[in-house]
Amino acid sequence: MMSLAQGLLGAASGSLVGFSLGLVGGGGSILAVPLMVYLVGVPNAHVAIGTSSLAVAASAAFNLIIHARSGMVKWDCAAVLAGAGIIGAFLGSLVGKMVDGQRLLMMFAILMLVVAVLMRRRRDHSGNQFVRLSKANAPVLAGLGLATGMLSGFFGIGGGFLIVPALVFATDMPLVYAVSSSLVAVLAFGLTTATSYAFSGLVDWPLTAVFIAGGLVGGFAGVKSAHLLADKRTLLNDAFVGVISCVAIYMLIRSWM
């Protein structure tokens, strides 16, 4: 049973993840699992992954509604990538559940360092805003969807930092459209992974509820802050890269110990 302290820490962790998502976009949800393990105190890494997958999916759904209203979602391209990725996420989650928890956390820490590098190198991309699904890009979208879905399912992450460049590479759509469209896949991957873990009894439902509630509050604050600090976007992104790099190093040290 979740204690009051865990509930408060869970809500605070959700707020922090939501805030980072609203502030810097893709990559923010990478903090969910380490926060659940090292701050909230979830003893089982697989429970932390299953729970965070559901929380990330809820956050993606909330943000997708906002982006859809702005007309920035390329539904046809996103649907192909997400459809193939659901298969990958399911397969990835099955493999992830078979890996030892401590080893999984070590690999997760290495992934966080990769995310830090990708976010540091991310640049705006003008692209073609009128791009549509075609015979040329559909197979590429499906292949990349399968690959990103497997990684998302294995680690229990949203995978936006992988999905966004995959959409840009496959279709040449502008970065702002790719960020919006990626939420379709993040939602699909998160739900698939969470369902797989839930059937294995690896989702903490009360913790999920408080984490999502905190995430909504933090996300709203993050979006507001992003508008206020728009001229310092690069600095904010670099600061977040520093944070996840430090967390990754801490996780590696803990795993080795």
Position 233, amino acid: R
What pLDDT is recorded for position 178?
85
Q: Which residue has the tokens 């949800």?
A: 29
The amino acid at 164? V
C-alpha distances out from residue 126 to 118, 144, 173, 191, 236, Å: 18, 21, 8, 31, 21
pLDDT of residue 132: 92
* Confidence (pLDDT) at 108: 87
* Number of neighbours of residue 124 by Cβ within 10 angstroms: 9
Helices 138-155 and 101-121, axial angle in degrees (round to 10) = 130
Q: How far is residue 155's CA from residue 101's CA, in Å, rounded to a whole number?
A: 11
Q: What is the pLDDT of residue 78?
A: 95
Tokens of 91: 């397969």
- pLDDT-flagged residues of the chain (< 50): none
**pLDDT at residue 71, as a whole number:** 86
pTM value is 0.84
pLDDT in tens, 34-54: 889 899 989 899 999 999 999
Place of tokens 């790099």: 245
Tokens of 237: 């992104």
Phi, psi of 61 (to 5 degrees): -60, -45
